[in-house]
């Protein structure tokens, strides 16, 4: 039987989170970062910037599988009704429905925190993530053409949004 759990992020997971993120930095266009993160850089990325944001560790059967974040969309106060959503799973945990369950969990947290809108920015090469967000009712609201350059090619960035009602 499969047990999926979400725990509040603590520093004990910093190196696991960093390894997860750096895998995607070094091997994919999921992240537009070009160089692996140090522990200090990762800590700044994953720790919530204010009480209204959250960082979670995703565990499958007690084993670290990845992480999920609700982070600040923009720094201006009027944007505090919107959060960016991010999920990174270790490669061996992708394609098993964990991302979908993590999204359902994150949306529930966002509703409890009274967010009105969630936004996800996805490289258009990441077709599986785009398909997941569409299935979960997110609408593609923008596509920025050739906005990044990585691995000797131009990359497009799609913006997905869901209004939480």
Domain ranges in the chain are 4-116
Residues of the chain with pLDDT under 70: none
According to the model, what pLDDT value does residue 165 have?
Answer: 80
Q: Which residues pair with 148 in a beta bridge?
A: 155
As a whole number of angstroms, the distance between CA 36 and CA 120 comes to 22
Q: Which tokens hold the place of 51? A: 């009480």
| Tens digit of each residue's pLDDT (9 = 90 or more) over 55-64 | 999 999 999 9
According to the model, what pLDDT value does residue 1 have?
Answer: 79
Give the 3-state secondary structure of residue 136.
coil
As a whole number of angstroms, the distance between CA 89 and CA 105 comes to 15
According to the model, what pLDDT value does residue 82 have?
Answer: 97
pTM of the shown model: 0.95
What's the topology of domain 4-116?
A: Aminopeptidase (3.40.630)
Cβ pair 90, 58 in contact under 8 A = no
């Amino acid at each position: 039987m499969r047990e999926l759990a979400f725990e509040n992020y603590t520093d004990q997971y910093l190196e696991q989170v960093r390894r997860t993120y750096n895998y995607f930095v070094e091997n994919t266009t999921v992240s537009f970062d070009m160089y692996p993160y140090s522990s200090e850089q990762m800590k700044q990325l994953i720790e919530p910037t204010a009480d209204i944001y959250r960082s979670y560790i995703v565990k499958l059967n007690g084993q670290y599988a990845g992480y999920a974040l609700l982070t600040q969309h923009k720094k201006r106060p009027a944007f505090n009704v919107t959060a960016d959503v991010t999920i990174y799973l270790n490669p061996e945990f992708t394609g098993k429905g964990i991302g979908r369950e993590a999204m359902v969990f994150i949306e529930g947290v966002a509703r409890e925190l009274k967010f009105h809108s969630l936004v996800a920015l996805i490289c258009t090469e990441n077709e599986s993530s785009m398909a997941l967000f569409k299935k979960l009712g997110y609408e593609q609201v923008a596509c920025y053409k050739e906005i990044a350059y990585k691995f000797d090619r131009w990359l497009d960035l799609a913006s997905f949004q869901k209004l939480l009602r």
